[in-house]
Amino acid sequence: MHAHFFRWALLLILVFPFAVGCGEQTLPGMPPLVPASVTVMQDGHPLAGAGVSLLGADDITRQWPAGGTTDANGVAHLRTGGKFDGAVIGKFKVMVEKTERPDNPFIDHASSASTNHLDYLREQKKVNANTFIVVDPKFSSNDTPLFLEIVKGQKDYTVDVSPAVKIKFTQVTY
């Protein structure tokens, strides 16, 4: 019994360090990532539900964009490539966007084969009429005035997208 226990204990001691290190692998050539989050403020309050994108401002960071969506506290925990926790050290443009729209209670009937498809279409007109962009579009363009530099040892960053706006969203049709 003791020999059996000893073998298992030895196996755990030898294998555990490797198992712990077998987390998610990075992509070939990816620089080290550091934990980072961005708090988005608007008119002195955290902005929940905003999309945050960090686009590289130099040759290295341009290859490794990061982003996330803000939680109820306005905090977006950054992920690189949508998969890897953290961001590459370097300078980034920060793009922030948020659209508010009501829900369509008939979304399950979007298919034209649905018996309630007309209800869906009628409600969708109301949704489209009541959809608004609530972050100034200058913050979601390539010419965004927001920049930040991810540095080793700093995890939390803040950007401000004041003042709040309410711009009627118009869908582009092709």
Which pLDDT belongs to residue 42? 98
Kindly give the confidence (pLDDT) of every residue in the chain, 174 residues in length, as a single tens digit, with 9 standing for 90 and above.
444 333 333 333 443 333 333 445 678 888 999 999 999 999 999 999 999 999 998 888 999 999 999 999 999 999 998 899 999 999 999 999 999 998 988 889 889 898 888 999 999 999 889 999 999 999 999 999 999 999 999 999 999 999 999 999 886 544
Which pLDDT belongs to residue 88? 96
Which pLDDT belongs to residue 59? 85
Cross-strand pairs, 33 = 88
Structure tokens at 49: 């539900």
Q: Is residue 16 part of a domain?
A: no
Q: Is residue 82 part of a domain?
A: yes
Q: Is residue 149 part of a domain?
A: yes
- CA-based radius of gyration for the chain: 23
Q: Is residue 60 part of a domain?
A: yes
> How far apart are the C-alpha atoms of 78 and 99, rounded to whole Å?
20
Q: Is residue 129 part of a domain?
A: no
Q: What angle do CA 85, 42, 145 make, to 5 degrees?
A: 75
Q: How many CB atoms lie within 10 A of CB 167?
A: 13
Q: Are 105 and 123 in contact (CB under 8 A)?
A: yes
Which pLDDT belongs to residue 15? 39
Which pLDDT belongs to residue 17? 38
> How far apart are the C-alpha atoms of 70 and 62, rounded to whole Å?
22
Which pLDDT belongs to residue 109? 86
Nearest C-alpha neighbor of 31 from the set 8, 56, 7: 56
Count: domains in the chain: 1
Which pLDDT belongs to residue 169? 85
Q: Is residue 125 part of a domain?
A: no
Half-sphere exposure of 66 (CA within 13 A, CB side): 30
Which pLDDT belongs to residue 25? 62
Q: Is residue 73 part of a domain?
A: yes
CATH number of the domain at 92, please.
2.60.40.10
Residues composing the chain: 174
> How far apart are the C-alpha atoms of 146 and 156, rounded to whole Å?
15
